[in-house]
Amino acid sequence: MDFPEILPQYAEIRFRFAHAFDGEVLLFTKKNGELVEHSSESISKEKPKISLNITKVFHSWITDNQPEIFVKLLDAKRVIFAQDFSIFGIVSYEGISPKSVPQRKKRSTSKESSKDGNVGYMSVNFDPLRAETDVNEMGCHRKGLYVNFNDLGWKDWVIAPEGFQSFLCDGGCSFPLHNKMNATNHAIVQTLVHLLHPQRAPSPRCAPSKLSQQKIIFIDNSENVVLKRYQDMIVQECGCQ
């Protein structure tokens, strides 16, 4: 994709929180494959709206065609939200047509002018109580786990399959428990108790909430070839329990 030679004089990202809280917003970029903190800004119930200057980041975005901006929300130094901003769109920059900017899925974008001229920005509305964490982030989610019967030393009696994708559940169950965590009502209540009285109850744990069977052909003790369906062998869904 060809980009205009004129780069924006100023670019910023704006946040507005539907449920204000005392915490911090941190913006990260990638350098040599590592996340590097770019800037940060504190937020509070008295200051639910903030802006972060991303002019330099956006210059790299345009010239290198690598839109990688990451944001984390911290509440009392705990991560409550993490998001890769490459999925967001950028609209309206001075000297740049919106159509010239690489975009993926848009969530909330708008145009506005400021004292710096026609400043383009991305406006993102966050509700931390309903924040959704990507499956690659730290929230409770399913991840791959391939079981190889040869590695387990079972190849002498297991005929087929050679292995299967069992999956496993990984990630935390810290507040807030969003929809993708498939939290039980008990887990939600336990989380609230843990927040108020950590000594009374631990945080819920990420565990399988739905499992399926796996067919295995093997040789039994009587040297018979047997086909058996083993229940609860494959993780289909994970949840906080």
Task: Note the pLDDT of residue 20.
Answer: 60
Tokens at 48, concatenated = 């639910």
Task: Note the pLDDT of residue 127.
Answer: 39
Q: Are 49 and 14 in contact (CB under 8 A)?
A: yes
Tokens 């730290």 belong to 138
Task: Note the pLDDT of residue 236.
Answer: 94
Task: Note the pLDDT of residue 186.
Answer: 87
Q: Which residues of the chain have pLDDT under 50?
A: 1-5, 80-136
Q: What is the pTM of this model?
A: 0.44
Give alpha helix (H) positions in the chain. Answer: 55-64, 185-196
For 133, 136, 170, 215, 220, the CA distances from 33, given in Å and listed in that order, are 21, 16, 23, 41, 50
Q: Where are the beta strands (DSSP E) in the chain?
A: 11-17, 23-31, 34-43, 49-53, 69-75, 78-84, 110-111, 120-126, 141-143, 146-148, 158-160, 163-165, 168-170, 206-219, 225-240
Task: Note the pLDDT of residue 191.
Answer: 83
Q: Which of 151, 142, 164 is nearest to 233 (CA)?
A: 164
Task: Note the pLDDT of residue 73.
Answer: 67
Q: Is the peptide bond before 128 cis (omega within 30 degrees of 0)?
A: no
| Domains identified in the chain and CATH numbers | 11-130 (2.60.40.1120), 141-240 (2.10.90.10)
Dmax (CA) for the chain in angstroms is 85
